[in-house]
Amino acid sequence: MSQTAAQLATALRRARRDATAEVTVLADRPDGTVVRCGHIVAKAHPPGTDPAELAVRLGVAAHPRCAGILLPPVDGMAALPDGRQVTLWPYGEPVAPDAPDAAPWAEAGKLLARLHSVPIAELPGPLPAMRGPAKAARAIARLRAAALPDSVATRAVLRAWAGLPGWARGVDRMDRGVDRMDRLDRVGRPDHRDRADRVEGQDRADRLEGREHGDRVDPREGDGVGFGGEDNRLCHGDLHLGQLIRHRATDWRLIDIDDLGLGDPAWDLARPAAWYAAGLLAAEDWERFLGAYRAAGGSAAGEGDPWPRLDVPARALTVQTAALALAKAAAAGRALDEAEEAMVEASVRIAHFMEAAG
């Protein structure tokens, strides 16, 4: 148990006035430590977390408009001796990682649609920006800092990143040399062949379909917070199945508010879209997720082909995941696992398409 986890455990036992209460460490990473004691979970947020922004995010999670969508906190904030912010939450049952057929993709879609429909004007503020593009930029910075030996994979990931428009890379001013590439789908719409095709190493280049489309929204319009979307909505900022818990045995809730804020809601759909395009998410699961999102009133994917809205965020999530995979595998001295390899391969295809498109 790390020092941070031990401090959280001590604080929880003190709060329960039981020095012998059983404590379970649920997560213990540099970017967040989570400890459970009975029905209460304590989370130490990443070092450098802004207390004011975290307080706003907590207020949003506790707001009546977000009831039934976000898990509400137990009460206020505290801090560890090293200054890290701590929040308390009710415990909920997480998604079972060994039961993919029971994954709540439809529930995730419904929750996102409801989150994106929350009236911003009624929430506490000022709301911070959703941190999707910033997290992608940090992943690339981590890859560069790892100083890996030159390889096809590393070069491809960096080329794919450079080919994203400036707003997707968290850059305030567009690079005119890559702005024109915003009009091409570089992730594309995958075919519906099963995952065995990817595992067996067959050619998946046909998963990438470049197309011009002239109806994209100019991301430079508006106030700059939406990162290229049609408008600013309340966004989760880091959607994946690990961010859902079953609350009170029946209802699913979204957890983890560290990246919550204003932004383009398409970013919340980008990770499942990237997994689908890379062959990691089955077509039926993608359709369940997207269909439930649209049926619940979600507007981030449009009414027809979703890729004009999801293309750039999905490419950004693909490159982000590949960059982290390469950096983490190198740091641990291990090979990429199957899912990591799929995202790196998708980044290579993105880079190859960019070269072919000129």
> In the chain, pLDDT over 70 holds for what percent of residues?
82
pLDDT at 202: 30
Residues of the chain with CATH 3.30.200.20: 3-90
pLDDT tens, position by position, 302-346: 888 999 999 999 999 999 999 999 999 999 999 999 999 999 999
pLDDT at 229: 47
> In the chain, pLDDT over 90 holds for what percent of residues?
57
Which residues does 27 contact at the CB level (< 8 Å), separation at least 6?
33, 34
pLDDT tens, position by position, 69-95: 999 999 877 888 888 899 999 999 999
The per-residue DSSP string of 167-204 comes to: GGGT-SS--HHHHGGGGB-SS-------THHHHTT---
Structure tokens given for 34: 């989570």
pLDDT at 337: 95
Which residues does 29 contact at the CB level (< 8 Å), separation at least 6?
none
Domain 3-90 has CATH 3.30.200.20: yes
Tell me the average pLDDT across 174-182. Answer: 33
In this structure, what is the dihedral angle of CA atoms 168, 235, 324, 42, given to the nearest 10 degrees? 150
Domain 101-357 has CATH 3.40.50: no
Note the maximum CA span of the chain: 66
Amino acid (one-letter) located at 239: L
* Cα–Cα distance for residue pair 338/329, rounded to 1 Å: 12
How distant, in Å, are the alpha carbons of 105, 195, 278, 281, 342 from that of 287? 9, 16, 15, 10, 20
pTM to 2 decimal places? 0.82
* Cα–Cα distance for residue pair 346/244, rounded to 1 Å: 26
* Cα–Cα distance for residue pair 116/70, rounded to 1 Å: 12
Residue 201 has pLDDT above 60, yes or no: no
Higher confidence at residue 355 or residue 203? Answer: 355
pLDDT tens, position by position, 121-163: 999 989 999 988 888 999 999 999 998 888 999 999 999 999 9
What sections of the chain are H helices per DSSP?
3-16, 51-62, 105-116, 132-145, 152-162, 176-179, 196-199, 266-278, 283-295, 307-332, 338-357
What is the crossing angle of helices 266-278 and 132-145, to 10°? 50
Going by pLDDT thresholds of 50, 70 and 90, the confidence category of residue 279 is very high
